[in-house]
């Protein structure tokens, strides 16, 4: 999901412009934002861009089908987080998502099998 946000930022920004990743703790959540220096989201459509097959600029020359942000929202919400888009001042686009903090799952090592052989056909 983060790769998708970075890909979008790169597609809609001028070559050589900055893309900034920010992260901070916000209570029981991690908050991550990706900000670019592109044209931003169409005013008043910041929520709509998270719907399937919706692009910020329908006639854009940037490749895409309008699924990336919809998939990102599905992933974030499935994990108990939120996601939103805004246009920071003076220009650009910013997508911020939150995910709940938690303990990583325990890694259980599999026992070693010293004499493994491929099945014979």
Summarised one tens digit per residue, pLDDT across range 58-97 is 445 554 445 678 899 999 999 999 999 999 878 899 999 9
- Distance CA(1)–CA(31), nearest Å, equals 14
Number of structural domains found in the chain = 1
Helix-strand-coil percent breakdown of the chain, rounded to 5?
20, 20, 60
pLDDT at 63: 47
Q: Which residue has the higher pLDDT, 22 or 13?
A: 22
Q: Is the pLDDT of residue 54 over 60?
A: no
> Tell me, what CATH number does 36's domain have?
3.30.565.10
Within a domain: residue 114?
A: no
Q: Does any domain span residue 106?
A: no
Q: Give the residue-averaged pLDDT of 18-38.
A: 95
As a whole number, the mean pLDDT across the chain is 82
Give the β-pairing of 29-35 and 94-100.
antiparallel
State the pTM of this model.
0.71
Answer whether residue 82 is part of any domain. Answer: yes
Range of the domain at 52: 2-100
């Amino acid at each position: 999901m983060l790769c998708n946000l970075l890909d979008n930022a790169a597609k809609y920004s001028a070559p050589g412009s900055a893309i900034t990743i920010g992260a901070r703790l916000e209570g029981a959540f991690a908050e991550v934002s990706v900000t670019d220096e592109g044209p931003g989201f169409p005013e008043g459509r910041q929520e709509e861009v998270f719907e399937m097959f919706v692009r910020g600029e329908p006639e854009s020359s940037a490749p895409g089908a309008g699924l990336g942000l919809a998939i990102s929202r599905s992933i974030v919400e499935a994990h108990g987080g939120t996601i939103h888009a805004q246009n920071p001042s003076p220009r650009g686009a910013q997508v911020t998502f939150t995910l709940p903090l938690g303990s990583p799952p325990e890694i259980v090592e599999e026992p070693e099998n010293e004499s493994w052989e491929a099945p014979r056909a």
